[in-house]
Amino acid sequence: MKRPVRLEPGQKLVLTANRLLDGRTVWWGADGTWDLHIGRAALLDANDAEAALSRAVEQAQHDGVVGVYDAAVKAVTPPEPVTVREKIRAYGPTVHPEFAVETEQ
């Protein structure tokens, strides 16, 4: 079982997953849809995140995503992942600038 994410002051949680069809990294938005851009992710407190995560896991097949989990971000605009791993998932591989997620619509 995944350990709960420990939040530092100024941090929130976001929900993330991979899309079933193409495996792309996606983020759960305030409008209830999954989006390629972390900038549109919903920022959640720890208590809200637990319920949202449960719902997202239940809805994963319907929503076409796999491997749903929560990740800590700095609560700035746009939210900034705390770990290198989540930054790379959010923005794309650092070795191919042409694949940057920010440049995709």
Partner 1 sequence: MSLPVGHYQYDRIDRDFLQARIAEFEGQVNRRLDGTLSEDEFKPLRLMNGLYLQLHAYMLRVAIPYGILDSRQLRKLGEIARRYDRDYGHFTTRQNIQFNWIRLEDTPAILRELAEVDMHAIQTSGNCIRNVTADEYAGAAADELVDPRVHAEILRQWSTLHPEFTFLPRKFKIAISGSPNDRVAARFHDIGILARPGEDGAPVFRIFVGGGLGRTPIIGEELFDSVREEHLLATLEAIVRVYNAHGRRDNIYKARIKILVQAIGVEAYREAVEAELAQMDLERYRLTPEAVAAIRSRFAVPLLEAPSDADAVLAEQRRADPIFDRWVRSNTHVHRDPGHIIATISLKPAGGIPGDATSAQIGRLADLADAYSFGEIRITHLQNVVLGHVRKDRLRDLWLGLAEVGLAEANIGLIGDIVACPGLDYCALANARSIPIAQKLGARFADTALQAEIGALRINISGCINACGHHHAGHIGLLGVDKRGEEFFQLTVGGRAENGAAIGMILGAALPEDETVDAIARLVDCYLGRREGGETFLDTLTRLGHEPFREAAYETV
Applying CB under 8 A, the residues found at the interface with partner 1 are 18, 20-25, 60-61, 66-67, 82-85, 88-89, 92-96, 99
Dihedral angle, C-alpha 64, 4, 13, 35, nearest 10 °: -10
User: Closest distance between partner 1 and the C-beta of residue 35, in Å?
Assistant: 15
Q: Which is nearer to partner 1, 31 or 98 (CB)?
A: 98
Q: Nearest approach, Cβ of 98 to partner 1 (angstroms)?
A: 8
Cα–Cα distances (Å) from 33 to 10, 37, 39, 62, 63, in that order, read 25, 11, 13, 11, 8
Measured from the CB atom, the residue of 19 and 55 that comes closer to partner 1 is 19
Nearer to partner 1, 30 or 61 (CB): 61
Cβ 13 to partner 1, closest distance in Å? 15
Would you say 47 or 105 has its CB closer to partner 1? 105
CA pair distance 25, 38, nearest whole angstrom? 9
Print burial letters for 27-61: b (CB count within 10 Å at least 16), e (below 16): bbbeeeebebbbebbbbbeeeebeebbeebeeebe
**Minimum gap (Å) between residue 62 Cβ and partner 1:** 8
